[in-house]
Structure 1
Amino acid sequence: MQKIVTNIWYDGDGEEAVDFYLSLFPDAKVTGTIPYVEDAHGTPGKVMVVNFEIAGQAFTAINGDDSAKHDHAMSLLINCDDQAEVDRLWDAILAKGGREIECGWIADKWGVNWQVWPSEADRYLGGPDKEAAVRATQAMYKMKKIDLQAIKDAYEGK
């Protein structure tokens, strides 16, 4: 069992959110559910908790109420293999009611914040040439969805 699990609060639609997340990641799966019982804060028999995994990482979705709000101070970082994966995930989240933020951040329709990030960008933002890294970082600051080629071009002074 994973020692620390990310627990995400939803306004009664956690199952819909989990179904959407399962559609984004081929290795995602539900690992269990827990129903509300008598004298709980929900309807007995309805799903209270959905436990699920993405890329071997455990998460819990709780069907709560509208008392908790998400913000980008806490986000889920997706390390993408390439621009095609960035584009696929970004577009899917946006198409399902997501909202673009900036610098690779996007909020899904439930308000959960994600960073959709091409892992290769780290080598330009943290590269050994400090002036080039500044150019790459400044280019990234102007983006909503990350454009890896534009970051690389900025690093290389193109």
Structure 2
Amino acid sequence: MTLPKNTICLWYHSEAEAAARFYAEVFPDSAVKAIHHAPSDYPSGKEGDVLTVEFSVLGIPCLGLNGGPAFTHSEAFSFQVSTEDQEETDRYWNAIVANGGQESACGWCKDKWGISWQITPRALIEALAAGGAEAKRAFEAMMTMHKIDVATIEAARKG
């Protein structure tokens, strides 16, 4: 087994396996790689409970740790997923929100485990990179949105 040099560790109360399986179903190049059980009792679990889950999200290696309720997620960490079009944006956004997640502003949403996701169409990234008045119009349009509407961003970009 080859371990990646760097892995993102995500703390879950007790549902790391469910989260990893959900991500593997929703996102391409994602998989549950291994499930490790606790060799003995620990503060938030018992011997034999799922302790860690090795998985990947869009090719990024992750480790889910069932560490109990001591820590919670915040928007200070998020996965930013760049999408090609409205269909792909809708697919990811709707999967996260419909599975117990919640919408936020400017293309952000949160999954049912508290992980934040930025579902960001390439059209928005390109509009903001253009700079000047074009970027300002796209940015102002984005600020009114929850899920990003590609057609509205493109129209704002053109003026």
Could you say which TM-score interval applies, normalised by the shorter chain? over 0.9
User: Which residue number corresponds to residue 117 of structure 2?
Assistant: 114
Report the TM-score, using the length of structure 2 for normalisation.
Answer: 0.92
Question: Equivalent residues in 2 for 1:1-158 (5 A)?
Answer: 1-41=3-43, 42-128=45-131, 130-157=132-159
- Listed as ranges, the gaps of 5+ residues in structure 1 are none
Deviations 1:72-101 (A, max 9, x none): 111111111211111001011111111111
Give TM-score scaled by structure 1 length: 0.93
Amino acid at match of 2:47: P
- CA offset digits 1:11-47 (Å, max 9, x no partner): 1111111111111023321111211012433211111
Q: Verify the 8 A CA contact 2:81 2:120 in the aligned structure 1.
A: yes
In structure 1, distance between residues paired with 2:76 and 2:56: 22
Task: Report how many residues are paired.
Answer: 156
Query: Contact between 2:123 and 2:154, CA under 8 Å: does it hold in 1?
Result: no
What SS class does the counterpart of residue 2 from structure 1 fall into? coil
Identity across the alignment (%): 37
| Cα RMSD, aligned residues only | 1.3
1:126 partner SS: helix
Gaps (5+ residues) in structure 2?
none
1:112 and 1:7 map into 2 onto residues whose CA distance is 12
Question: Within 1, Cα distance between the matches of 2:58 and 2:96?
Answer: 18
